[in-house]
């Protein structure tokens, strides 16, 4: 059987039904559902799968970047260059902002942790004012005591974002797929094709 096109599944999780749950996934976590979408290209199918799973896909606006660990920061540079080239405003927490500025990013706005409400602009206020369109939050892997406050603050960012309906990417792979989908959408539109067309194509392929 030969069929053209792409089919992609995106898992769904019930984080809003689980009060206080962290959206960072562990190996023991299972999705509570999934959506499957077809498309004529990888990003055509992926864009529809994201939308069907409830993600908003902004084509302009503001991204919040908070990345833990030096290796993660270095790996993120090509992705963050792409985000900048797409003319998204970039907000970053202090250490991430320092790293970006040291690597040639000139228009990064520094923002402050949820745990520092007196320092402005604060991430909590920006989320509640709908001034953040998506978040890339790749946590540090260290869990020693001196990092506990930082890890808790990252959790607070992710949890507030879920409650406000803001997409959050917590792995490099997910972040790259998400941003490249936004890039594709800037010059393309998801296809709308009746499901029966795929079934008919399958039937023809099987007969041949």
Q: What are the structural domain ranges in the chain?
A: 6-207
DSSP 119: S
Nearest alpha-carbon partner for 136 in 193, 197, 83: 83
CATH number of 6-207: 3.40.50.1380
pLDDT per residue, tens digit, the chain (208 aa), is 445 689 898 876 554 444 444 445 444 444 456 788 999 999 999 999 999 988 899 999 999 999 988 999 999 999 999 999 998 999 999 999 999 999 999 889 999 987 788 889 999 899 999 999 999 988 876 544 444 445 567 777 777 887 788 999 988 999 999 999 999 999 999 998 877 766 666 555 555 5
Give the predicted TM-score (pTM) of the model.
0.80
How far apart CA 83 and CA 63 sit, in angstroms, is: 8
DSSP states along 45-76: HHHHHHHHTT----SSSEEEEEE-SHHHHHHH
């Amino acid at each position: 059987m030969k069929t053209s096109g792409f089919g992609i599944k995106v898992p769904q999780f019930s984080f809003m039904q689980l009060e206080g749950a962290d959206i960072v996934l562990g190996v023991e976590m299972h999705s509570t559902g999934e959506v499957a979408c077809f498309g004529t290209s990888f990003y055509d199918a992926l864009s529809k799968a994201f939308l069907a799973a409830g993600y908003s896909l902004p084509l302009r606006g503001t991204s919040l970047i908070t990345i833990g660990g030096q290796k993660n920061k270095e790996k993120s540079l090509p992705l963050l260059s792409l985000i900048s080239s797409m003319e998204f405003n970039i907000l970053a927490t202090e250490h991430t902002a320092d790293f970006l500025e040291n690597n040639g990013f000139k228009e990064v706005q520094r923002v402050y942790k949820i745990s520092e409400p007196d320092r402005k602009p604060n991430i909590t206020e920006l989320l509640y004012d709908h001034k953040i369109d998506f978040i890339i939050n790749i946590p540090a892997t260290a869990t020693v005591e001196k990092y506990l406050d930082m890890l808790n603050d990252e959790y607070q960012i992710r949890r507030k974002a879920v409650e406000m309906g803001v997409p959050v990417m917590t792995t490099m792979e997910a972040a790259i797929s998400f941003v490249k989908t936004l890039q594709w959408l800037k010059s393309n539109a998801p296809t709308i094709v009746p499901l029966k067309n795929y079934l008919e194509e399958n039937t023809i392929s099987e007969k041949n």
